[in-house]
Amino acid sequence: MTDLLAEAKAELYRADPEEFMSRRQELAAAAREAGQAAAAKSIGALRKPTRSAWVVNRLVRDDPEVTGRLAALAAELRDAGASMDGGRIRELSAARARLVDELTRQAFDDLPAPAAAVREEVTATLDAALADPEVAANLGTLVRAAHWAGFGLADGAPAPTTPAAKTKKSAPAEPGAERERRHREKIMEAERAVAEADRAVDAANAAEQRLEDAVRRLEAELAQARQQLAEARRQAYRAESQQRRAGETLSRLQR
């Protein structure tokens, strides 16, 4: 049986976000007509991606090697972090910056010049994919940009420590650590705000789609009514002509 949900994801997260809502509705309707109610429900629940998320989704769907390159470097970064190899860490950090920069340029190769904020979010998302396996797993179906707020090379890879650093862990929090804690809290608050904004956008887009459907339906009904009115006028004209000719015939016969 055809995997309609997978096909819908492949199409929707590759196509321009401006087409997402209307096409999602069409694909869900097609799944229902095919008797796949569960797939139709899942398709209808797919969320529209932001512009930056779409750019990343499009990149990995157009070039399957991108995810492999990110995964390979992420594994090297984790291994280097675990081994505490300073030279290797510096080498891979430079490779990380080069790869993210290269993929960001590739993502915009055939697109109009992006806004600075969109480019920054694409760069941040690719960087996060190297550090966060969850982000990496969602490449291709992202609904918003991702940001890596941690330290070190990759998720689960401890940063190099020294005896002095270990001693500081048991000491009271330094002002710098407190600033970082507050910074992380602000990032979490911002992410929650983004999630709420995403939900608001989805709701607004759904309302817009419903109204557009209603307008199209009313326009179709109006066009049909105009056709019926034109036909009724033609019939009235023909009837009046027949009435006039019949009256003239009767007048001639009565003379």
Between residues 235 and 179, the one the model is more confident about: 235
d(CA 110, CA 130): 24
Same domain, 78 and 132: yes
Same domain, 37 and 134: no
Same domain, 77 and 156: yes
189-244 per-position pLDDT tens digit? 665 676 667 667 667 766 766 776 677 778 788 888 888 888 888 888 888 888 88
Q: Is residue 36 part of a domain?
A: yes
Same domain, 89 and 148: yes
Nearest to 141 by CA among 19, 48, 36: 48
Same domain, 116 and 59: yes
Number of domains into which the chain is organized: 2
Helices assigned H by DSSP within the chain: 4-12, 20-33, 37-44, 51-62, 65-83, 86-107, 116-131, 133-137, 163-170, 175-254
CA distances from 11 to 7, 39, 146 (A): 6, 15, 22
Q: Is residue 32 part of a domain?
A: yes
Same domain, 34 and 67: no
Contact 114, 55 (CB under 8 A): yes
Domain boundary among 137, 160, 183: 160
Residue range(s) defining the domain that contains residue 153:
51-160
Same domain, 10 and 78: no
Same domain, 61 and 137: yes
Same domain, 26 and 107: no
**pTM of the complete model:** 0.58
Domain boundary among 160, 195, 227: 160
The span from the first CA to the last CA of the chain, in angstroms, equals: 83
Identify the band that residue 160 occupies on the pLDDT scale cut at 50, 70 and 90: very low
Domain boundary among 160, 176, 208: 160
Q: Is residue 166 part of a domain?
A: no
Contact 80, 154 (CB under 8 A): no
Same domain, 93 and 40: no
Residue 107 has pLDDT above 80, yes or no: yes
Q: According to the model, what pLDDT value does residue 57 have?
A: 95
